[in-house]
Amino acid sequence: MLLQIPEVLSADAVAYFRKRLESADWVDGRVTAGYESAKVKRNTQLPEESEVALELGDLILTALEGNKLFISAALPSRVFPPLFNRYGPGNGFGAHVDNAIRQGLDAETRIRTDLSCTLFLSGPEEYDGGELAIDDTYGTHHVKLAAGDMVLYPSTSLHAVTPVTRGQRIASFFWLQSMIRDDGQRTLLFDLDRAIQGLSADLPDHASVVPLTGIYHNLIRRWADL
């Protein structure tokens, strides 16, 4: 599943993030890359332990806790603390697959990466290039969203960030471990949940709402990996 989640951050929140990031200390982005990824990664990012990264990461996690579309699509079990990167002219990230396991600053933040997230903090008019290119069975999808919007996609996907030729592309990126390991099962649950919500909104007293909700939760019981 590849899904756009709009307005995770408001315009005011994005402005605050950008102000905080302007004065932050950036380091070589290869510090969090695996051996193969480091060969094709050219960007800068905030150190995981930096005060700014920890503060802004907590704000993102708080926003996502109240985002119904994110919860429905991801069914998150554990979320890796958000990181922040920056691409300037000449920077890019060649084709790669994210590490299967991410280890944070302590053992408690070690997760299996089921889903990858990119939250855009620069608007598409601020830079040229810098598209997130994600491959799946339907081809390559080029993603370049408004500031405050986020894309969610399977961490198993081959993906890249195309070279930036003008301006700066600033984003937050992170991973999560879902309660539902299998992407196909997770997609079916998302589709079922959205259908139930639509039926409930259009016909709130329809007799099928309750049994369909029961089927949804029984499928989670069958498939959940906690």
Task: Give me the residue spans of the domains in the chain.
Answer: 3-178, 183-223
Closest Cα to residue 1, out of 130, 161, 194? Answer: 194
3-178 and 183-223 in the same fold: no
141: alpha, beta or left? (left if phi > 0; alpha if psi -120 to 50): beta
Per-residue pLDDT of the chain (226 residues; tens, 9 = 90+): 899 999 999 999 999 999 999 989 999 988 776 666 778 999 999 999 999 999 999 999 999 999 999 999 999 999 999 999 999 999 999 999 999 999 988 877 789 999 999 999 999 999 999 999 999 989 999 999 999 999 999 999 999 999 999 999 999 999 999 999 999 999 999 999 999 999 999 999 999 999 999 999 999 999 999 8
- Answer whether CATH 2.60.40.10 is correct for domain 3-178: no
Task: State the residue for tokens 């053992």.
Answer: 107
Determine whether domain 183-223 maps to CATH 3.90.1010.10: no
**Separation of first and last alpha carbons in the chain:** 21
